[in-house]
Amino acid sequence: MLRGRATRHDTAGPGRHRLLGDLPREVGVLSAVAFAVALGFGFVAPALPVFARHFGVGRTAAGAVLSVFALMRLASALIGGRLVNRYGERLILAAGIGIVAVSSALAGLSRTYVQLLVLRGIGGVGSAMFSISAGTLLIRLVRTEQRGRATGLWSGGFLLGGIAGPAFGGLVTTASIRAPFFLYAATLAVAGGIGLYQLRNTPLAARDTPGAAPPMTLAAAARLPAYRAALGAQFADWTANGVRSAIVPLFVLDALHRSPVWTGIGFLTVAAVNGAVLLPAGRLADTIGRRPLLVGGCTVAGGGLALLALPASLGGYLVGMAVFGLGSGLLDVAPASVLGDVVTGRGGTVVAAFSMAGDAGAVTGPLLAGRLADAVSYSAAFAGAAVILGAAGLLGLTAPETLGRADPAKHRRSRAHRSA
């Protein structure tokens, strides 16, 4: 019944976009959704702490409006995974984006700090629903030999939106402290509309797909060394990025004695190298395998932070940030590709736990870095994150390569879904 549409998933016809190649059309759709979501978040990110201070609270309370979003993502992830297993990816993706959109618009109308804090927490729940459903759909739509490239494109959508958003968000904030929240809601509405309309004929996004394998349980996934390695790399990568975000601005001021302009240059260096490596890393993951990129990403990113732990110098800082960006780019592809290789059926809770590993790192990184920087030094903070990355790399060494080792029946079912 859907055969005419489904064959486009596997055939690079004359209308195929050059960037997608033989990837399913839905990969481009999900990447566009990711861009719109990240763009909107970039609009509101510069305004959040400033808006919180508008209610007369201190710096710690202002920072809490950022932390509560990640904490509620972490707390609600497993529930989001169960909802995906029960109702399907497309519905939960749209519902999650809708929750973030409505809560953002209401946050822009907040009259008290408590209202702002609560609404940001509700937005975190919606964000978890979106990211888990999108991630589950992405890894189920593509074949094993396409997964690295698909993950690279999806991560690229987030990266481009995350770069463009803050630039415009800062300008909007100067005009109105509330306007970015409404712009965020608008971009989310666009993202949700794209998801609902463009994914309406995707068989795998349906609630009940004929002949589908039962959902993979978290207990079954946890017994797989490759899945544990993916969790470890995801946690380490997000921990390291949390350390970078929390400590580098202070390091530039206190250790390098430079203006905040150099913080922006360093962050731009990371983003530029990260973006440049995503698509090549995806191709490598689909050819030489996931494990070399996972181990290499942990090693290279850890090496970049180790350079920052050396005696402070502007040149060392820029080189360290570039090296870190390279390793982080590899880690944007490899762990998610491993996840896709090991998941069978609709593994919403398995993907949710993977998402939780990242959120746990995002919460842990700044706290760990702040504690080490206060008690010891900035060098200790960077070195601590490098050690965590090194441990994740060692865990990756003990895991088997997953490229080409997935259950053949899984891919027979996937092909059947695409041609149903």
What is the residue-averaged pLDDT of the chain?
A: 82
Please write the tens of the pLDDT for every residue from 121-154. Answer: 999 999 999 889 888 888 878 888 888 888 888 8
Radius of gyration (Cα) for the chain, nearest Å? 21
Domain extent listing, the chain: 21-208, 219-397
Predicted pLDDT at 139 = 80
User: If pLDDT is split at 50, 70 and 90, which confidence band does 395 have?
Assistant: very high
Homologous superfamily assigned to 21-208: MFS general substrate transporter like domains (1.20.1250.20)
Contact present, 324 and 268 (Cβ < 8 Å): no
Query: CA of 267: how far to CAs of 44, 272, 377, in Å?
Result: 18, 9, 21
Average pLDDT estimate for 207-224: 72
Predicted pLDDT at 123 = 93
Predicted pLDDT at 213 = 61
Homologous superfamily assigned to 219-397: MFS general substrate transporter like domains (1.20.1250.20)
Q: How far apart are CA 130 and CA 91, in angstroms?
A: 10
Query: DSSP 3-state assignment of 193?
Result: helix
Contact present, 87 and 207 (Cβ < 8 Å): yes
Query: CA of 35: how far to CAs of 4, 42, 83, 122, 349, in Å?
Result: 29, 10, 24, 21, 24
User: If pLDDT is split at 50, 70 and 90, which confidence band does 18 have?
Assistant: low
Is pLDDT at 210 greater than 60 in this prediction? no
Query: DSSP 3-state assignment of 401?
Result: coil
Is 219-397 in the same CATH topology as 21-208? yes
Predicted pLDDT at 277 = 92
Nearest to 139 by CA among 156, 127, 126, 151: 151
Is pLDDT at 320 greater than 50 in this prediction? yes
Predicted pLDDT at 412 = 44
When comparing pLDDT for 342 and 324, which is higher? 324
Predicted pLDDT at 201 = 67
Instruction: Say what angle helices 225-254 and 378-397 make with each other, to 10 degrees.
Output: 160
User: If pLDDT is split at 50, 70 and 90, which confidence band does 407 have?
Assistant: very low
User: If pLDDT is split at 50, 70 and 90, which confidence band does 59 have?
Assistant: low
User: If pLDDT is split at 50, 70 and 90, which confidence band does 15 have?
Assistant: very low
When comparing pLDDT for 6 and 370, which is higher? 370
Is pLDDT at 354 greater than 80 in this prediction? yes
Here the tokens at position 320 are: 């360290």
Predicted pLDDT at 42 = 78
Q: How far apart are CA 29 and CA 151, in angstroms?
A: 13
User: If pLDDT is split at 50, 70 and 90, which confidence band does 411 have?
Assistant: very low
Please write the tens of the pLDDT for every residue from 269-311. Answer: 998 999 899 989 999 999 999 999 999 999 999 999 999 999 9
Least-confidence region, from 81-85, 94-98, 192-196, 230-234: 192-196
